[in-house]
Amino acid sequence: MIMIGIIIVIILVVIYFLYTRYRKSNKSNKVEAITNDGTFNINNKRKPILTAFKTGGIMGMIYKVEIYDDKTYIFYDKDQVQAIGHVDAETDNSVNYILKKFPKLKNDYCVPEGYDIIYLSLQSNDKTVHLGSCVPQDIADHFEKLNELMH
């Protein structure tokens, strides 16, 4: 009897994940935002100055935010564009602070106990720093500004 209940739960979870993936794949990836020079082209070939990643969790979250030198950002959820905009002055200051500290950041992989583990990473130029679930104290408040863009 318990085995049947477990099988039913597994089937329902699989159906839920397939349904949510199907719903997200049918969303339009065409997002336009007005910038200082007109519409922002999401198919740009520019390289971001900073990229923040937030992955994991029980639902398989894959968030990414790319920040560009003209203070624009693109937020992705599982490679689907969700938002495009300009960072405010406070977030821009945080980005510049993280970029200044970036060469000294090291992979500090720590994993707390629990089921809903979130992994954080930063990338600038060709260097990636895997923070695990721990953001270094000296950039924690600044990383939070990036985290606010990943909504």
Conformational region of residue 56, where left means phi above 0, alpha means psi within -120 to 50, and beta covers everything else: left
Mean pLDDT across 32-51: 64
Give me the residue spans of the domains in the chain.
33-149
> Is the CB of residue 51 less than 8 Å from the CB of residue 124?
yes
- Answer whether residue 28 shows pLDDT above 60: no
Helices (H), 67-126: 89-101
| 120: confidence class by pLDDT, cuts 50, 70, 90 | confident
pLDDT number for residue 51: 94
Amino acid letter for position 57: G
What top-level class would CATH report for the domain 33-149? alpha beta
- Answer whether residue 16 shows pLDDT above 80: no
0.75 cut: is pTM over it?
no
pLDDT number for residue 61: 85
pLDDT number for residue 38: 46
The distance of Cα 5 from the centroid of its chain, to the nearest Å, equals: 35
**Integer Cα distance of 75 and 70 in angstroms:** 15
Give residue-wise pLDDT tens across range 86-106: 999 999 999 999 999 988 888
